């Protein structure tokens, strides 16, 4: 890194760097000499000198009818850095507040294809508690790989799960395979078959559709999640609990 680049890295622009270096090399000298050394026009140099005087990097002295300008020693540059640090510390709380407000804004992420659905379910299963509602029958019909993923994850990860399922033979068979302490299952009435699989986890809501055009989304919004959680709670209270035999639990 050359001197001009070093000066630019601590906040001086290209012309300020050129003028400061010219003054440093010339010592006390006139605007004309500084302009020639810095290869800049005199009116421009006058403006830059005023700016550098304010920053404490240039001094001036009057001798007769002439005003001479000179650079302060390079150690004065530490004062410029310290000033920048003080300014940053002053504005930092405001910047962090802006950043936090950005993170709190609702987000919607859309996914397509089986790979997209894998992404959704891997994120769901990374949480500590999940509230599902849907139908294994709708998933198993054309997406055997996802069904196997559920079985694998259910056996290797242990999130607390509350699963609202459609009352179909496939859903009941699945229930017998995944039931364990911490995994509760209830069934919708037999006439209700839910074709979209949904989950509430953390401050997120996921919804996954299957069939010939698998796709899904994840919504990050606390108000939306709270509203769906209320509806889920009502459905859970009215659903029929799955009562596995003691042999299944073992």
47-103: pLDDT as tens digits? 999 988 988 888 989 888 889 999 888 888 887 778 778 877 787 777 776 665 555
Q: Which of 32, 60, 78 is the last residue of a domain?
A: 78
- Structural domain for 220, as ranges: 107-249
pLDDT(187) > 90: yes
Residue 194 lies in a domain: yes
Average pLDDT of the residues of the chain: 84
215 with 189: CB under 8 angstroms? no
131 with 200: CB under 8 angstroms? yes
The span from the CA of 206 to the CA of 132, in Å, is 9
Percent of the chain at pLDDT exceeding 90: 35
- Give the chain's domain count: 2
Residues 138 and 181 in one domain: yes
Region for residue 113 given its phi and psi (left: phi exceeds 0; alpha: psi -120 to 50; beta: otherwise): left
Residue 157 lies in a domain: yes
Residues 34 and 128 in one domain: no
Average pLDDT over residues 201-216: 90
The span from the CA of 109 to the CA of 221, in Å, is 12
Residue 45 sits in a domain whose CATH number is 1.10.10.10
Residue 99 lies in a domain: no
Output the DSSP codes for 197-221: EEEEETTEEEEEE-TTS-EEEEEE-
Percent of the chain at pLDDT exceeding 70: 88
Residues 50 and 140 in one domain: no
Residue 13 lies in a domain: yes
Interval 233-244: pLDDT, tens: 999 999 999 987
- pTM, to two decimals: 0.56
pLDDT(250) > 60: no
pLDDT(249) > 50: no
Average pLDDT over residues 149-173: 80
């Amino acid at each position: 890194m050359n001197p001009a680049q070093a000066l630019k890295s601590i906040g001086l622009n290209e012309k300020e760097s050129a003028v400061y270096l010219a003054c440093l090399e010339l010592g006390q000298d006139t605007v004309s000499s500084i302009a020639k050394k810095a290869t800049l026009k005199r009116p421009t140099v006058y403006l830059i000198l005023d700016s550098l005087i304010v920053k404490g990097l240039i001094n001036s002295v009057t001798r007769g009818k002439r005003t001479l300008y000179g650079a302060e020693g390079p150690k004065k540059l530490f004062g410029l850095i310290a000033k920048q640090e003080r300014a940053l510390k002053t504005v930092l709380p405001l910047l962090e507040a802006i950043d936090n407000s950005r993170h709190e804004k609702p987000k919607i992420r859309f996914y397509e294809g089986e790979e997209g659905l894998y992404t959704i379910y891997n994120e769901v299963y990374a949480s500590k508690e999940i509230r599902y509602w849907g139908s294994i029958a709708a998933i198993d019909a054309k997406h055997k790989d996802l069904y196997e993923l559920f079985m694998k994850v259910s056996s290797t990860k242990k999130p607390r799960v509350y699963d609202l399922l459609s009352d179909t033979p496939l859903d009941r068979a699945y229930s017998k395979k995944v039931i364990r302490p911490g995994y509760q299952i209830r069934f919708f009435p037999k006439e209700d078959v839910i074709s979209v699989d949904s989950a509430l986890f953390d401050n997120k809501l996921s919804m996954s559709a299957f069939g010939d055009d698998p796709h899904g989304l994840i919504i990050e919004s606390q108000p939306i999640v709270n509203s769906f959680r209320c509806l889920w709670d009502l459905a859970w209270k009215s659903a029929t609990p799955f009562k596995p035999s003691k042999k299944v639990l073992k």
